[in-house]
Amino acid sequence: MKRLLSILLCAVMLVVTVPTMVFAADTTVEVSNGMAFRSDTTQDAIDQWAAGAATIQENSDGSFTVTLQKNITLKQGATSPITFGNFQDGKTQPAMILDLNGCTVSAKTIVIANYGNLVIRDSQGTGKVVYDGGQYMTAVQNSGYSLTVQGGTFECVGADSVTYNAAINAAAGTETVIDGGTFNGNGAGALTTYGNVTINGGTFNGAYGVVSKKAGSGETGSITFPENSTAVIHADKMAFVVHGDGTNNGTIDVKGGSFDAPSIAGKLSSADPKTDITIAGGSYTADPSDYVAGETASIKHTSEQKTLYAVGGDVQALANTAKPGDTITVLSGNTITVPDRVTVENQTGNDISVNGETIEKDSAATVHKFDRTSWKSDKDSHWHECECGEKTDIAAHTWGDWTVTQQATETEKGEKKRTCSACGYEETAEIPVLAHTHKFGTEWKTDKDNHWHECVCGEKADIAAHAWGDWTVTQQATETEKGEKKHTCSVCGYEETAEIPVLTHTHKFDTAWKSDSENHWNECACGEKGNLAAHTMKWVVDREPTAAQTGSKHEECTVCGYQKAAVEIPVIGTTTPEEKPDSEKPADVPQTGDGSNMLVWIAAMMMAGTVLTGTALCARKGKHSR
């Protein structure tokens, strides 16, 4: 029994939980009609309308946040949208906040209608509101007091009517603020209004960008793009459309944003775009010149890739994107700054200033971007310089007074500086040493000729020649060595030394004779010869001859004792005549051919022959007797 009860209990639980499980797995809820969300809406009421599709929560500031939990689709045939607020509760009623939370709400009728104060956001970034009925309707209708869109994607797939279709439509008397989100009008406009719309951001896509209309009541819509708007319009035909009867027309005031469209503006009925549309800012792919107010600056930027226009506060931002070789055409305004080597055409009808340089009307120039916040300088001039090195505003320095930074002395130079009042360049200069006042020392300075007193700078005073005293010999000279003497200046004490030449030589001849084979002499230590004379020779017998043995004799000078080599004396008994010394030989020897003494010579020869014969006979006789 217990087992059976357990089985039945499990079966019941399974039956009960299956619908819940299937429902939780389904992320899209279909409803027959929309629901009214107000400050008194309860969670039970929401769950009865679309269980688990949304939650509601009151905030600390009194507002209420509705957060979608599932995709919601209004079924075909639905006639009422999802609404927020109650118009009868007035302008001060609590704000309602719709957080798409990444969910999609779609319908073939108006999807969301505001009757109070509504804020739409998308905390997940993928939330959508889609009208896909193909008729003259919109995805979001603001018929209340204020609508603020902060995020989400809003799309109208309608009849492609610029008059009646739009992703968002605002009724007369309403205030709409677009801070973000994406708005797709497809073949129609992305936004239409009979009320006041301020577009701070967001992306708007469609055949037309935004449309400002006149209501049947005579009220007119106005669309404002503030100066700091980050809105982007991508339109297949034109960015702006105005509607009206020519007297009461919708208006568009543009001070910021980016607009990509082949044409700036168009009209419905009798509106006049050139009057009803005022452009004072923003960037454009089409020429906005016809709508630029007064003296508002506008330019055209032409590059290899495309042509863009900018107006007002967006002019400089666009100009800053130019690259060398691009062209900036100034359509209106009087001053602009462009990057280096950009060509600027002036079509304003007046002279303009570009990077501080003047470009005359109806002329063009390739300009430089000079840095005018800081000066470049050298020692003579200052200037503003472009990043390419080009210079402008070249001018000579405007010097202030000199300021001494280091005083000069008599031995060291000083320094001074001055500053250019225009660029701040500092120039330093040398201060010469001070004029010198001589201070001469008491000590004498000297050289070999003079003495003087000297200043530390080297200047001399009291220059005078030395006053010399007498010479004093400090080393006597000899015949072989020089001597030395000195004398002293009586004023400064300078001493001068001088050389004493060697004494003149007096020959002192040695008493001993010097000789050679011809002469004899007495010699001085210096080598000088005195008493030079030829030898006076005589024979000196060294050994007397005997009958058995020869003797010897030599010639010897009777003055100096010089001896010649000894000669032999024959043994006794020979008839060899005795030879006289050279000194005793007659000086006059008859010359050949001289016959004056011929007889004397003949007699002498005969006597000599007799003597020789006698001698020979005696010798022979003696030999035989022995």
3-state secondary structure 62-104: CCEEEEECCEEEECCCCCCCEEECCHHHCCCCCCEEEECCCCE
pLDDT for 620 beyond 70: no
Rounded distance, CA 252 to CA 62, Å?
Answer: 34
497: enclosing H helix or E strand: strand 495-500
The reported pLDDT for the residue numbered 88 is 96
pLDDT for 319 beyond 50: yes
Higher pLDDT, 438 or 619: 438
Query: With bands split at pLDDT 50, 70 and 90, how would you rate the model's confidence at 15?
Result: very low
The reported pLDDT for the residue numbered 18 is 34
**Could you tell me if 325 and 340 are in contact, meaning their C-beta atoms sit under 8 angstroms apart?**
no
Classify residue 178 as exposed, middle or buried by CB count within 10 Å of its CB (0-12, 13-18, 19+). Answer: buried
Mean residue pLDDT of the chain comes to 88
- DSSP letters along 507-531, please? --EEEEEEE-SSEEEEEETTS-EEE
Q: Which segments within 194-326 are labelled E, that is strand?
A: 196-199, 203-212, 222-225, 232-244, 251-254, 258-260, 263-269, 277-279, 281-284, 298-302, 307-312
Residue bearing tokens 């600056």: 297
Any idea which of 322-326, 408-412, 479-483, 613-617 has the lowest mean pLDDT? Answer: 613-617
Phi and psi for 397 in degrees, rounded to 5? -65, 145
Any idea which of 7-16, 103-112, 136-145, 360-369 has the lowest mean pLDDT? Answer: 7-16
**For the whole model, what pTM was predicted?**
0.62
Rounded distance, CA 279 to CA 288, Å?
Answer: 7
Any idea which of 185-189, 257-261, 509-513 has the lowest mean pLDDT? Answer: 509-513
Percent of the chain at pLDDT > 90 equals 76
**Could you tell me if 131 and 113 are in contact, meaning their C-beta atoms sit under 8 angstroms apart?**
no
48-70 burial, b for 16+ CB within 10 Å, e for fewer?
A: ebbeebbebeeeeeeebbbbbbb
pLDDT for 619 beyond 80: no
C-alpha distances (whole Å) from 82 to each of 52, 75, 103, 135, 355 are 16, 12, 14, 18, 57
The reported pLDDT for the residue numbered 591 is 43
434: nearest Cα among 454, 404, 459, 411: 411
Task: Write the pLDDT tens digit of every residue in 514-556.
Answer: 999 899 999 998 888 999 999 999 999 999 999 999 999 999 9
Task: Write the pLDDT tens digit of every residue in 200-259.
Answer: 999 999 999 999 999 999 999 999 999 999 999 999 999 999 999 999 999 999 999 999
Give the pair of three-digit tokens for residue 311: 């107006």
pLDDT for 624 beyond 60: no
pLDDT for 318 beyond 70: yes
**Could you tell me if 386 and 369 are in contact, meaning their C-beta atoms sit under 8 angstroms apart?**
yes
